[in-house]
Each structure stands twice: as structure tokens, then as C-alpha cells.
A and B are shown apart, each in its own frame.
Chain A
């Protein structure tokens, strides 16, 4: 069990640029989640995958956001035309069967200049 891995750890970019983050879940986990956390707040749910199927998306996920999980393994979260308000920590979590906890990666901290 190597844990949930996220890349990069930090991303600084100019407003208007596109960014992509990667998450590698724990290998046997079929559930994968993306959350966003802003300073001083708890994380907020963005989207959920069961294997390769994206089953739920939050209203927080605007049209500029897209997530994929090809082949049900790693996942990517892309933000197009970044805005100042996108600055946050983006967290990925994975889980096994329904009665098991979610395990979180160390997150990708995005800063928009």
C-alpha cells in the first residue's frame, strides 16, 4: 500500500492558463474522489469516479473543470482558463468497498497569479 499520490505538489500559473493535475489512487481502490480546499475551510466535494465512470459532479465544478479516469486507474483534473478564485488545495482521495474509509493524497496547491 503506497498510498494516494498526487502530482504536482505545487503549481503556480498565470490567470487564463490551463492546468492539469494527476492522482494515482491506492491500486485496489475502485472509488476516487476530488475535493477542493480553500484557506481556513474544510474540503468541498468536486467529483466522484467508480472505476472509470464519473458518477457524480458537484455544482462547484464549472464548465472550465473536467476530470477523467481512463481505465479506472489514475485520474486527471484539468482547469481551463484559470481564474483567481481557482487558487486552492486540490485533494484526491480513494476508497475500497463501501465500509472502508477514504484515504487522501498530499494535495496539489494551485496559486493563480
Chain B
């Protein structure tokens, strides 16, 4: 089956720093989503990005489908950005079920 790998697994930064999170996937996918899971376990949609670049405030994402990777950029980090960031892909020829990476655990120190 398709493999989704995220890096780095853990990241500790000072408030105000910038970061780049990576998601590699092993096969063609219909689509890709980035999520933020906050310390209370809530999964928040960040981006739905099969290809190209999208921006939302301090966050942006780029997916290069032909090279099977996606990047999530966080600029000017805030403590509220802490949590786990997941990348999930929709397999081709599936019922759009999501296959998830193991996540990047981000800690922003004040």
C-alpha cells in the first residue's frame, strides 16, 4: 500500500522562528490534506492541496505531485502553533479514504 512519511518527527523552536515540515508519499494520490492536531486532540483542517501552493496567514503549503512530496511552512511561530501536524493523502481508485503519516510534533517555546 501507499506509504506516507513525514519529517522531522519532532521539532522544538523558539517563538518567532520559521519552520518547514515535509511529507513524502510513495504513489500517485488524488489529493492531500494537512491537519493540525491541538493538545486537546482536535483535528483542524489546514490545507486541501493536491498540487500547487496555497497560503493562509502565517501558514502556506506547496505540493509537487509529480515528485510526490508536500511542504508545510509556518512563519513567525506562536505558542498556539504547538501540536502535531499530520499529512494525509487520498489513494487513487479508493473511496477517498485518507492514509496518514505519523506526524510532526511541534513545540513552540515562549
**Residues in chain A within 8 A of chain B (CB atoms):** 31, 33, 35, 41-45, 48, 50, 55-56, 89, 91, 93, 95, 98-104, 106-107, 109
Q: Which secondary structure characterizes the binding site on chain A?
A: strand
A45→B2 CA distance, assembly (Å):
13
Would you call A102 and B33 a contact (CB within 8 A)? yes
Q: Which secondary structure characterizes the binding site on chain B?
A: strand
**Residues in chain B within 8 A of chain A (CB atoms):** 30-31, 33, 35, 40-43, 45, 48, 86, 88, 94-103
B6 to A, closest residue via Cβ: A42
A55→B94 CA distance, assembly (Å):
10
Given A50-B95, A100-B48, check contact A44 B41 (CB 8 Å). no
A48 to B, closest residue via Cβ: B95
A93 to B, closest residue via Cβ: B98
Across-interface contacts of A31 in B (CB, < 8 A)? 95-96
A107 to B, closest residue via Cβ: B41
Given A89-B41, A104-B43, A107-B41, check contact A43 B97 (CB 8 Å). no
Known: A42-B100, A104-B43. 11 other contacts (CB 8 A): A31-B95, A41-B102, A42-B86, A43-B43, A44-B100, A48-B95, A50-B95, A95-B96, A100-B48, A101-B33, A103-B45
